[in-house]
Structure 1
Amino acid sequence: MIELKTPAEIEAMKPAGRFVGGILKELKAMTKVGTNLLEIDEFVAKRIADRKGAESCYVDYAPDFGTGPFAHYICISVNDAVLHGVPYDYSLKDGDLVSLDLAISVDGWVGDSAISFVVGKDADPEDLRLIKCTEDALVAGIAQAQPGNRLGDVSNAIGDVARSQGYPINLEFGGHGVGHIMHGDPHVANDGKARHGYRLRPGLVIAIEPWFLKTTDEIYQDPKDGWTLRSSDGSRGAHTEHTIAITDNGPVILTTRD
């Protein structure tokens, strides 16, 4: 069921969004060559423990698309991994492409956001182009999240950016409604038909999350951890996400990293 929030409820969601956005900003600054993925997970765990009213949305989360309950505080996907990456004992190398996806509840309201970046100085220009494509697609999708538009307008705008840059599009996973729970209705696909689908209304809060792989739209679940989604051909992936609220005055980003 799609739920619409009141203006007061959208205000109540802002602390969670700012908290998530702030942590991602901190993590991008501190993540270097040699940083261990478990250190990142421990940092997030401590920040949640230190924040009154904050709870992880990931620990013990057990949806049907994972294998058993998730046991960490953040999803970290590296190189050919693009979604639902399980942190493990790995120290980042120069040129690794890292995607951090974080969802936290504060006082009962969820904020969900993701960023991708390359660590070190040896960044492949093609990795940077892929990351920029997800960022551009997110901006285009948010721009279409206007009252009176359709959900297909958001999806189509995301897909147009990917197509224009030659990236294939996977429709198995995408954005979603956000509120008291992390994953709610509606599903926000990363491609779709303009002027089709649910009519956007003030009070709708959704996560928009473009993610693309360099040379394929096919993924598989890593059998080692039962969660991490990797490209079928070993090509790299990138993922960018914001939680936004649709208001009478247009879309408002709740997970700002300013």
Structure 2
Amino acid sequence: MTPRFVRFAAIDWSGAKGARHKGIAVALCTEGDAVPRLIANPAGGFWSREAVADWLVAEAAKAPTLFGFDFSFAPPFVARGAYLPGDAVPETGPDFWAYVDSICTDVDLGAASLLESTHRRHFYFGKADGTKAAFMHNRLCESHYNAHGGNKPSTVYDAIGAAQVAKASFAGMRLLHRVRGHVPIWPFDPLPAPGASLVVEIYTSIAARAAGRPRGRTKMRDLAALNDALRSLGSAPHEGLPPDDHGADALVTAAWMRATAQRPEHWTPDLLDPHIAATEGWTFGVI
């Protein structure tokens, strides 16, 4: 079954400490070719993670919407048979999200304490931790994507540098735990019946590459580059001042989600089986 949605929301995410985050951008578009628009935090100012969760739950009830988040929905499991080998933690994605939420008291769904203290030995913060390669474990979808030229640069165990996704992903797992009772999360939950909303994991570089951006140059920092990408995805152009790179990523990814959500192959990747769906999940767009 290929689900049907009438709206598409892409959220560029942040795991930064604190309660408001410049790095969060939310873009929404409807069916057709209208340009996606950036959604402002209803409370004003920069988005908080909790405000994103509240907004998602409210919007999911209004119309069937596909929500995409740019973080890893679970750590690798299949290759080593555990998320955090040697530590007693749950062994399915939703149970692990609940565990992360239960042990993290960080402000605004943050999860830095999990990396920095509770499970510190599993994460690479620098040379004092040993060889970085020993921490570079991937999920099956990431290995598959990289083997076909994707070049995704990091894992949730890499907690150093601008490219790290560790804090963002574990903070995101707290959000997933909060919203799952309202909106199913693919592929941990089955595809919903027509008329329902759904949350998926996205990787904004996949959208940018699909829009014609070359590998290694996926960021769009001027209006011409942004509109070239939008037009290649069947979208009307963005008018006015160009957004920052977080906003541009969200706009292009929302347009890409709209252009690809009806393609059945995105919902039935060849390597996705029930065990992977329950433990690691999958990135929408990796086929």
Task: Give the TM-score normalised by the residue count of structure 1.
Answer: 0.28
More strand by share: 1
Larger RCO, structure (CA 8 Å, separation 6 or more): 2
Q: Give the TM-score normalised by structure 2.
A: 0.26
